[in-house]
């Protein structure tokens, strides 16, 4: 072997070693997002930009159907093949925290000096992901509902949407009646206003919002205790039962309110967030946005509870992957303006807030400042199911509140007691 | 040597099926039973809890409700089906004009899958749908909550099930009736027996094995009901758990509440119940024979 060949062999060997070393250093992040069609193209562009800016990090991006997202996430965690970075709703985070799936935020990896450097840029949004004083995720969407009025229907009924929307729940039945069209048998053919009964998350938010308005809560989160009891709970349930059975203004047997409102079959709906504005434009609905009514003798004038989606990191991923995942989380959430303008995902960051100067958006922001976060309980799926079954028993089964309410509270406490025992066993 | 070879060849031919059943039937059953003795929730490693899950079922309101609903459904999906399908079979056993055309039309509900049946009936049972028009228009009723009323919803499920099941079991009865030697009926007729006495003393005893088959199949089928309650109801199991059956509860516990241990325990209970009922029916048949 001459000198030239010898050099070639050495260079080739060095190249192979360098390649192997580079490959060994490359980190792959498995990122799972739920399906939200307007967001996917933006996601892909962000991921691509991130990979270009960080050649040592590869992102394995996947979109999962909303209906399967929660189950697939859990089964993936169970089999040890869960994502390193994932986006999930606030109502599901308690069980991940309970099972030690969530990694606390790595501020250094995200490029922040401390918590204040991150949260200082946001109006609100972190309360839903704070456990025992630590943050475990970054919001990718923060939302709250307000009431959308179909101006055309309101005006046809002789009402002024800007002036006649009631401030209290007590005035609501009379107003809804004016907007309701009934057949000769009294059955509503077009509802004036109705709660979004078929949507369990909406029902969850409605109950807790009304409880807070009356100065109570559905849960004592810290102590794993259901507190859906007493005169305040009875008052809220009586109002809802009367809505269905006394005033016959709607009920769980009707189509979901969003679909009906966008189809022009419902005069008023309070189950859209700020993200509903483009949907109103698409459906060519002339609308007005109003804050949620409250109880005349209520203790707080809060609107709907806020809810959020968070970007979280799997605590079971390797430290290097976790760091890379937090870096991507920062990169992703820094594109909040694009996600808002392109996919309607609102996050109350300073840069996004500058895009929300219109009066309709201001209604949501004013309500958001007063809103508390939706309760975070372990076993959410079972608990919301208990509430829904109780709702049906009262409204469709005609059972008295005095019977159903304690039963619901007991059933929820049984679930929470079990989950608390599991959490304590995990700590041991 | 030849016998030895034949023996091994036989085993080799049977082996794929044995492996298939071992992997896809026996292993899942055993694994399900093992799972029922744990508190597995998908997120955390399973812990051994012994028979705790079974003990907890005794005071589990949801389980007891589902058990009650399942028994009501089984009652509604068996006895009326046996009687109606037998009556239909006796009717179609008679010679009359257009019998075959009518028999074919009567059999049509059996052909589509249960999911399709459920989807079609969900439309028919809409509060303002065709069934409301048929049942309510003559008395001025424009809305009936067939599927969202706690009393009507379980009855609607039974009615739809029976509508699809009766023609199927009619066919089994017809096959049984066809196997009765006509000389016996002729002899009874010559002896002056009325059609009712002939049916009671000749047809029915000879249809015993068919009756056991109908009873066993319909009972197992009814205990395992799931699709109707899942697809037909706008809120699976609802309203107010009035259509929550054990099959649906397994799904809820497993993939909605993520309580795999409890879901497996309910499956084991269902398995035991079906086994007991079927064994009792077979024992009764043998004893009567």
Q: Verify that A252 and A329 share a domain, yes or no.
A: no
Domains held by chain A: number: 2
Phi, psi of A313 (to 5 degrees): -115, 140
Task: Determine the Cα–Cα distance for residues A267 and A261; give it in Å rounded to an integer.
Answer: 7
- How confident is the model over A83-99, as a mean pLDDT? 91
Q: Is residue A366 part of a domain?
A: no
- The whole domain housing A184 covers 146-305+376-427
Whether A262 has a pLDDT exceeding 90, the answer reads yes
Q: Verify that A387 and A403 share a domain, yes or no.
A: yes
Q: What is the 3-state secondary structure (H, E, C) of chain A?
A: CCHHHHHHHHHHHHHHHHHHHHHHHCEEEEEEEECCHHHHHHHHHHHHHHHHHCCCEEEEEEEECHHHHHHHHHHHHHCCCCCCEEEEEHHHHHHHHHCCCECCCCHHHHCCCCHHHHHCCECCCCHHHEECCEECEEEEEEECCEEEEEHHHHHHCCCCHHHHCCCEHHHHHHHHHHHCEECCCCCEEEEEECCCCCCHHHHHHHHHHHHHHCCCCCEEHHHCEECCCHHHHHHHHHHHHHHHHHCCCCCCCCCCHHHHHHCCCEEEEEEECCCHHHHHHHCCCCEEEECCCECCCCCCCCCCCEEEEEEEEECCCCHHHHHHHHHHHHHHHCCHHHHHHHHCCCCCEHHHHCCCCCHHHHHHHHHHHHCCECCCCCCHHHHHHHHHHHHHHHHCCCCCHHHHHHHHHHHHHHHHHHHHHHHHHHHC
Q: Which residue has the tokens 């970054």?
A: A138
Of all residues in chain A, the one with the smallest CA distance to B233 is: A253
Q: Is residue A68 part of a domain?
A: yes
Q: Verify that A118 and A243 share a domain, yes or no.
A: no
Q: Verify that A159 and A238 share a domain, yes or no.
A: yes
- Compare A92 and A329 and report the one with higher pLDDT: A329
Q: Is residue A367 part of a domain?
A: no
- Compare A382 and A23 and report the one with higher pLDDT: A382
How much is the pTM? 0.82
**CA B91 from centroid of its chain's CA atoms:** 24
Q: Verify that A298 and A324 share a domain, yes or no.
A: no
pLDDT score at A397: 87
Q: Verify that A99 and A221 share a domain, yes or no.
A: no
Q: Is residue A56 part of a domain?
A: yes
Show which of A355, A389, A416 is a domain's final residue.
A355
- How confident is the model over A110-128, as a mean pLDDT? 93
Q: Is residue A368 part of a domain?
A: no
CATH of the domain at A32: 3.40.190.10
Domain extent listing, chain B: 56-288
pLDDT tens for A376-423 read 888 898 999 999 999 999 998 899 999 999 999 999 999 999 888 877
Q: Does A184 sit within 8 Å of B142, measured CB to CB?
A: yes
Q: Verify that A175 and A54 share a domain, yes or no.
A: no
Of all residues in chain A, the one with the smallest CA distance to B40 is: A78
**CA A417 from centroid of its chain's CA atoms:** 25
Q: Verify that A71 and A85 share a domain, yes or no.
A: yes
Task: Determine the Cα–Cα distance for residues B202 and B195; give it in Å rounded to an integer.
Answer: 10
Of all residues in chain A, the one with the smallest CA distance to B260 is: A75
Q: Does A95 sit within 8 Å of B235, measured CB to CB?
A: no
Of all residues in chain A, the one with the smallest CA distance to B149 is: A396
Q: Verify that A383 and A285 share a domain, yes or no.
A: yes
In angstroms, the separation between the Cα of residue B263 and the nearest Cα of chain A is 13
Q: Is residue A155 part of a domain?
A: yes
CATH class of B56-288: mainly alpha
Q: Does A185 sit within 8 Å of B140, measured CB to CB?
A: yes
Q: Verify that A131 and A32 share a domain, yes or no.
A: yes
Q: Verify that A296 and A397 share a domain, yes or no.
A: yes
pLDDT tens for A134-156 read 999 999 999 999 999 999 999 99
pLDDT score at A21: 52
pLDDT tens for A177-226 read 999 999 888 889 999 999 999 899 999 999 999 999 999 999 998 888 99
Residue in A74, A392, A393 closest to B43 by CB: A74
pLDDT tens for B192-233 read 888 889 888 888 889 988 999 999 999 999 999 999 999 998
Taking all residues of chain B, what is their mean pLDDT, rounded to a whole number? Answer: 90
Q: Does A77 sit within 8 Å of B143, measured CB to CB?
A: no
Which residue, among B39, B40, B42, would best test binding to A if mutated, counting the most A CBs under 10 Å from its CB? B42
Q: Verify that A238 and A330 share a domain, yes or no.
A: no
């Amino acid at each position: 072997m001459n000198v030239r060949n010898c050099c070639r062999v050495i260079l080739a060997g060095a190249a192979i070693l360098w390649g192997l070393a580079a490959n060994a250093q490359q980190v792959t992040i498995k990122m799972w997002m739920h399906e939200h069609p307007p967001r996917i193209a933006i996601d892909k562009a962000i991921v691509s930009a991130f990979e270009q800016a960080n050649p040592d990090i590869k992102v394995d991006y996947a979109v999962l159907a909303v209906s399967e997202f929660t189950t697939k996430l859990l089964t993936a965690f169970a089999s040890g093949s869960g994502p390193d970075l994932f986006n999930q709703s606030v109502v599901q985070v308690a069980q991940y925290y309970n099972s030690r799936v969530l990694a606390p935020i790595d501020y250094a990896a995200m490029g922040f000096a401390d918590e204040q450097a991150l949260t200082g840029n946001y109006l609100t949004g972190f309360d839903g992901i704070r456990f025992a004083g630590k943050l475990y995720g970054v919001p990718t969407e923060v939302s709250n509902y307000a009431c959308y009025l179909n101006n055309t229907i309101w005006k046809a009924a002789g009402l002024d949407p800007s002036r006649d929307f009631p401030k209290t729940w007590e005035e609501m039945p009379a107003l809804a009646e004016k907007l309701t069209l009934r057949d000769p048998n009294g059955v509503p053919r077009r509802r004036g206003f109705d709660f979004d009964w078929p949507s369990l998350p909406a029902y969850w938010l409605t109950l807790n919002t009304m409880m807070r308005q009356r100065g109570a809560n559905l849960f004592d989160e810290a102590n794993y205790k259901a507190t859906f009891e007493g005169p305040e709970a009875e008052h809220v349930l009586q109002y809802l039962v009367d809505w269905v059975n006394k005033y016959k203004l709607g009920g769980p047997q009707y189509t979901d309110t969003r679909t009906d409102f966008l189809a022009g079959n419902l005069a008023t709906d309070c189950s859209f967030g700020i993200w509903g504005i483009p949907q109103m434009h698409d459906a060519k609905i002339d609308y007005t946005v109003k804050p949620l009514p409250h109880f005349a003798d209520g203790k707080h004038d809060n609107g709907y509870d806020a809810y959020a989606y968070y970007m979280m990191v799997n605590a079971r991923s390797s430290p290097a992957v976790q760091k890379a995942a937090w870096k991507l989380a920062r990169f992703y959430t820094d594109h909040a303006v694009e996600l808002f303008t392109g996919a309607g995902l609102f996050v109350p960051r300073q840069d996004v807030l500058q895009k929300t100067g219109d009066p309709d958006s201001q209604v949501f922001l004013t309500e958001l400042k007063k809103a508390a976060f939706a309760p975070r309980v372990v076993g959410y799926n079972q608990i919301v199911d208990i509430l829904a079954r109780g709702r049906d028993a009262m409204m469709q089964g005609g059972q008295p509140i005095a019977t159903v309410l304690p039963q619901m509270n007991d059933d929820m406490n049984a679930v929470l007691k079990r989950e608390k025992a599991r959490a304590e066993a995990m700590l041991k | 040597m030849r016998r030895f070879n034949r023996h091994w060849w036989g085993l080799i031919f049977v082996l794929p099926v044995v492996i298939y059943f071992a992997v896809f039937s026996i292993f899942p059953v055993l694994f399900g039973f093992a799972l029922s003795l744990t508190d597995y929730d998908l997120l955390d490693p399973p812990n051994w809890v012994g028979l705790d899950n079974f003990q907890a079922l005794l005071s589990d309101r949801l389980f007891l409700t589902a058990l009650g609903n399942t028994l009501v459904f089984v009652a509604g999906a068996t006895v009326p089906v046996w009687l109606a399908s037998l009556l239909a079979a006796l009717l179609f056993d008679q010679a009359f004009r257009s019998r075959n055309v009518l028999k074919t039309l009567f059999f049509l509900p059996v052909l589509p899958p249960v999911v399709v049946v459920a989807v079609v009936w969900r439309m028919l049972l809409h509060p303002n749908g065709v069934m409301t028009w048929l049942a309510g228009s003559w008395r001025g009723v424009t809305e009936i909550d067939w599927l969202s009323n706690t009393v009507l919803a379980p009855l609607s499920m039974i009615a739809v099930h029976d509508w699809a099941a009766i023609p199927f079991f009619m066919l089994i009865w017809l096959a049984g009736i066809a196997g009765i030697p006509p000389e016996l009926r002729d002899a009874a007729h010559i002896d002056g027996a009325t059609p009712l006495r002939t049916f009671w003393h000749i047809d029915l005893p000879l249809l015993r094995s068919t009756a056991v088959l109908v009873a066993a199949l319909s009972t197992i089928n009814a205990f395992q009901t799931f699709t109707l309650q899942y697809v037909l109801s706008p809120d699976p199991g609802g309203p107010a758990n009035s259509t929550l059956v054990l099959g649906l509860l397994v799904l809820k516990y497993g993939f909605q509440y993520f309580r795999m241990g409890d879901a497996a325990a309910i499956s084991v209970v269902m398995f035991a119940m079906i086994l007991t009922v079927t064994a009792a029916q077979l024992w009764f048949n043998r004893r009567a024979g």
